[in-house]
Chain A
Amino acid sequence: MPRRRLLAFAMRARRLRLLPVLLLVVVAGCATFDPPKPWEKGQLAKPEMQFDPDPLETKTTLHIYTSKEGAAGGYGVGGGGCGCN
């Protein structure tokens, strides 16, 4: 894609609905930025702290949303498509 068209596309994408973003930023901002030492990462290693603790459940759930909603993506790349959308 020509660079000018890519920039125009990105500029149009900046019509963001900022309220959810601001909300997430505020919530994240309430967390103290204090990167832990290696021996302090026990909690982070637990499954409930992973972004995809159950890859199979995530895969099937996202497939449902992909087939029933207009927009999809953002969680990763690869995996191919389907005739569902």
Chain B
Amino acid sequence: MAWAEAGVAATDGGAAPCGLRAPLAGEAAPTGPACTLLAAALALPGMLPAAALAQQAPDRGVLTLRYLDYHDWQPGASRMSVQSPSLYLLKPLSESLALEASLVYDAMSGASTIAFNTMSGASGLGVTDYRTAGDVKVTKYFDRYAIGVSGAYSHERDYISRAGAVELRTWTEDRNRTFTFGIATASDAINPTDRPPEEDGHRNTTDFLFGVTQVLNANAIVQSNLTYSTGHGDFNDPYKIADRRPDHRRTLAWLTRLNQYLPAPDATLRLQYRYIHDSFGDDSNMVEAAWYQPLPAQFAVTPLVRYYTQSSAYFFFGPPLGNGFVPGEPYTTDNRLAAYGAITLAVKVERAFADGWSADLSLSYYQQRPTWRLFGSGSEGILPFSARWIGVGISKAL
């Protein structure tokens, strides 16, 4: 996914060693591109270049390899397993041009969640599927703005998605405030494996983003994004009995994030809150908190907790099968559109090595329960859903 990432340049650059000290009496404050040296000067082990230095092209590139092992289950039944290797590349093409690319391969096996007794098509009977997805983004940096253009392609046996996006970032003269504007469009083709070609579906989606990032002080930065998405076409799940969804979907998402460095423990607190209003009716709230704690010997640990709660889609009906079904009206038994709350507990351990190498291991546990829903009742008759995923990553600054 091409991020409308809005970060802040370390400094504005200049002849003086930028960022290492305040200017002396009579000395001009540093300005200009030389302060990218700050990023290089801070290129200690683990200090990987990041595209999130979003006001200037990175000085160095980075290559990241990651492997994800995912498994989910419901009471008494194992469900999906996914093994997913992936790759990410950040490469400066010039002093003002940067390339980002990623490639993901998902190997999926198992069965999707059981919606009480609903089984149809591939759902519930066991599936073996794959997904290959890639995206490329090129960003051109100017003095007070940057323009990024990206494309993405995703292919599964029954699904093809093509997308493109344009992003504009502009910042104030002191580089403490950044405005981000983004627009993206996606065209998806749905080809169910158990249906004749004439029943193939199609849908188009357009997204609009507006974001503001503000440096609060030397130790804190906040970002707030509004994203509006509108889609038309086939949203049905072809593998669920009688699944019939509206042919249009609009969502408005508001995401706010705060990163606060705390000098006393030498740690960083990362908070985020997101609200989504969805025309399907599954409005949601999400809060997440993570604590980045450096440890001796170039280690760092990041525990994380996330809470998510959503209302049900207005056309979701719980058991028994057929409850609420009206011919010609929207209807679904998809548990993902039920009302529930969900909690994620995760921890990540990472270590930096010499010469720009770093490695990390992350463990995550996730569970959905109708009884955990806030601001209303959870859907009845829905089994708890649990998942765990383990990620291993290795990175090298280029």
A58 to B11 alpha-carbon distance, docked (Å): 26
Cβ–Cβ contact B261 & A32, under 8 A? no
Give B1-15 interface residues, CB cut-off 8 Å to A: 1-14
Complex CA–CA separation, A64 to B112 (angstroms): 13
B interface residues with partner A (beta carbon < 8 Å): 1-14, 18-23, 29-31, 35, 38-39, 42, 46-48, 50-53, 64, 66, 68, 70, 72, 84, 86-88, 100, 102, 104, 131, 133, 135, 137, 150, 152-154, 156, 158-159, 161-165, 167, 174-176, 182-184, 186, 188, 190, 205, 207-209, 215-223, 225, 227, 229-230, 250-261, 268, 271, 273-280, 282-285, 287, 292, 300, 308, 310, 313, 336-338, 342, 360, 362, 364, 366, 368, 374-375, 385, 387, 389, 391, 393
User: Other CB < 8 Å A-B pairs besides A9-B277, A50-B7, A74-B254, 20 of them?
Assistant: A24-B258, A27-B271, A35-B176, A44-B221, A47-B46, A50-B52, A51-B6, A55-B102, A56-B86, A71-B278, A71-B282, A73-B227, A74-B255, A75-B1, A77-B227, A78-B163, A80-B153, A80-B162, A82-B131, A83-B190
B258–A27 contact, CB under 8 A? yes
User: Given that A35-B216, A57-B362, A68-B385 are contacting pairs, would A80 and B46 also be in contact in the complex, using a CB cutoff of 8 Å?
Assistant: no
Q: Which residues 39-68 in A have Cβ within 8 Å of B in the complex?
A: 39-65, 68
Give the docked Cα–Cα distance between A60 and B161 (Å).
Answer: 17
Known: A71-B276, A77-B208, A80-B153. A51 touches B52 (CB 8 A): yes
> Once the chains are docked, how many angstroms separate the CA of A34 from the CA of B220?
10
Task: Report Cα–Cα, A81/B158, bound state, in Å.
Answer: 12
Do most interface residues of chain B lie in helix, strand or loop, or is the interface mixed?
A: strand
- Pick the contact of A36: B209, B217, B255, B362 (CB < 8 A): B217
Contacts of B64 in A (CB 8 A): 54-56
Given contacts A10-B252, A43-B218, A51-B5, contact A68 B368 (CB under 8 A): yes
CA distance A42 to B313 in the complex (A): 46
From the candidates B174, B209, B258, name the one contacting A77 in the complex (CB within 8 A).
Answer: B209
Chain A residues at the B interface, C-beta cutoff of 8 Å: 1, 9-10, 12-13, 15-17, 20-21, 23-24, 27-28, 31-65, 68-85
A44 to B12, CA, bound (A): 13
> Which residue of chain A has the shortest Cβ distance to B225 in the bound complex?
A74
Would A20 and B35 count as touching, CB distance under 8 A? Answer: no
Distance to closest chain B CB from A26 (angstroms): 11
Instruction: Across the A-B interface, give the 6 residue pairs with the lowest CB-CB distance, nearest first.
Output: A78-B165, A79-B1, A83-B159, A74-B253, A80-B163, A78-B2
Q: Tell me how far the C-beta of B269 lies from the nearest C-beta in chain A, rounded to whole angstroms.
A: 8
Q: Among B30, B66, B250, point to the contact of A38 (Cβ < 8 A).
A: B30
A35 CA / B217 CA spacing, docked (Å): 5
The one of B70, B184, B258, B310 that contacts A78, using a Cβ cutoff of 8 Å: B184
The listed residue with most A CB atoms (<10 A of its CB), out of B30, B190, B259, is B259
Min CB–CB distance A18 → chain B (angstroms):
9
Residue of B nearest to A38 (CB): B11
The closest CB in chain B to the CB of A34 belongs to B217
- Chain B residues, CB < 8 A from A83: 131, 156, 158-159, 190
Whether the pair A32, B190 counts as a contact (CB closer than 8 A) is no
Residues of B within 8 A of A64 (CB): 70, 366, 387, 389
The interface residues of chain B lying within 8 Å CB-to-CB of A69 are 284, 308, 310, 336, 342
With a cutoff of 8 Å between Cβ atoms, the chain A residues found around residue B274 in the complex are 74
